[in-house]
Structure 1
Amino acid sequence: MTGKLLTVLLFFTCLTAQSQDLRKHRWEDRIVLLISDSLDSDTLKQQLQLFQQAEKALKERKIVVYQISSSRVKKGINKSSADSNGDLYKRYKKSDAPFEVVLIGLDGGVKLRKERIVKPPELFELIDRMPMRRAEMYKGESP
């Protein structure tokens, strides 16, 4: 009986660890999830290119970008290694659209969901209206 209980507990611990991958960012970073059918899609590449051009503004707003497909996850907007983890895809993919952009605020709540490329000024305008961002700007906080 103890062996079975231990196996079940281990299974749920591993499952919880995967699903809590983004929890480490709570109250520290805003998260943008770029969810695509493929990490090689043209739409994803176009979105990344726009973000690369606005990299300084992303950092000022404490934005961490994740590139997510059903089988792989990459952190960052530049070339980075991919982990195999479909958990984030299953959790945040909400439509049949081949591409989605999801903004998660400092509190862990979804603040924006679009099924198209989001230009950085649109994203920054939304973030800059948020009370916590206004407080950061007032205090002069920047990474």
Structure 2
Amino acid sequence: MANAQDLGKHLWKERILLLISNGLEDAALRAQWRALQKEQKELRKRDLVVYVLTDEGSFFLGVDGESEEPEPLDGVGRPERYKDGVVLIGKDGTKKMERPFPVRPKDIFNLIDAMPMRRAEMNKNKQDEP
């Protein structure tokens, strides 16, 4: 994966969405990223950070989908054990989902919203509202 140190900084703070592909020019990868860019508010609400892992290297795409150009990371490229597609890592550092491209953002959000930690976050946010 991306350097474990890079991903470890998100533990207990953010969920990680990995977009895994052979290269940055892959049409399925680009379509997935475009779909996510349209959902910036939803990404932010769920504390999602997005990384792209390719044979060309690892790239950070932003905390809420705002990055137009991927930021290169030091570390390993695409992990061999994962096929091209989307991997969701929870705040606890465990894999929650692995699916081939394309994955509808709504499906990702529904999965996250069903998680106990996210449900607790949503309940806390309701209590914090005036």
TM-score (normalised: structure 2): 0.83
Out of 42, 48, 53, the position equivalent to 2:27 is: 42
Unaligned ranges ≥5, structure 2: none
Which secondary structure state, in structure 1, belongs to the residue aligned with residue 9 of structure 2? helix
Deviation at 1:58, TM superposition (A): 0.5
Would you say 1:136 and 2:121 are equivalent positions?
yes
Deviation at 1:88, TM superposition (A): 5.2
Query: d(CA) in 1 for partners of 2:73 and 2:123?
Result: 40
Deviation at 1:89, TM superposition (A): 2.1
Deviation at 1:115, TM superposition (A): 1.5
Which secondary structure state, in structure 1, belongs to the residue aligned with residue 101 of structure 2? coil
Which secondary structure state, in structure 2, belongs to the residue aligned with residue 58 of structure 1? helix
Query: d(CA) in 1 for partners of 2:74 and 2:55?
Result: 8
Q: What's the RMSD between the two structures over aligned residues?
A: 2.0
Contact 2:57 2:75 in 1 (8 A): yes
Query: d(CA) in 1 for partners of 2:4 and 2:91?
Result: 17
Superposed CA offset, 1:88-136 (max 9, x none): 522xx424x4x21000000000000011211011001100000110010
**How many pairs align?**
121
Residue 101 of structure 2 aligns with which residue?
116
Deviation at 1:57, TM superposition (A): 0.2
Would you say 1:89 and 2:70 are equivalent positions?
no
Out of 82, 86, 95, the position equivalent to 1:101 is: 86
How has the CA–CA distance of structure 1 residues 71 and 119 changed in structure 2, closer, same or farther, with 3 Å as cutoff?
same
More helix by share: 1
Query: d(CA) in 2 for partners of 1:69 and 1:61?
Result: 24
Contact 2:32 2:101 in 1 (8 A): no
TM-score (normalised: structure 1): 0.76
Contact 1:34 1:101 in 2 (8 A): yes
Deviation at 1:86, TM superposition (A): 5.0
4+ aligned runs moved over 3 Å, structure 1: none
More strand by share: 2
Contact 2:29 2:101 in 1 (8 A): no
| Higher radius of gyration, 1 or 2 | 1
Which secondary structure state, in structure 2, belongs to the residue aligned with residue 20 of structure 1? helix
Deviation at 1:70, TM superposition (A): 1.8
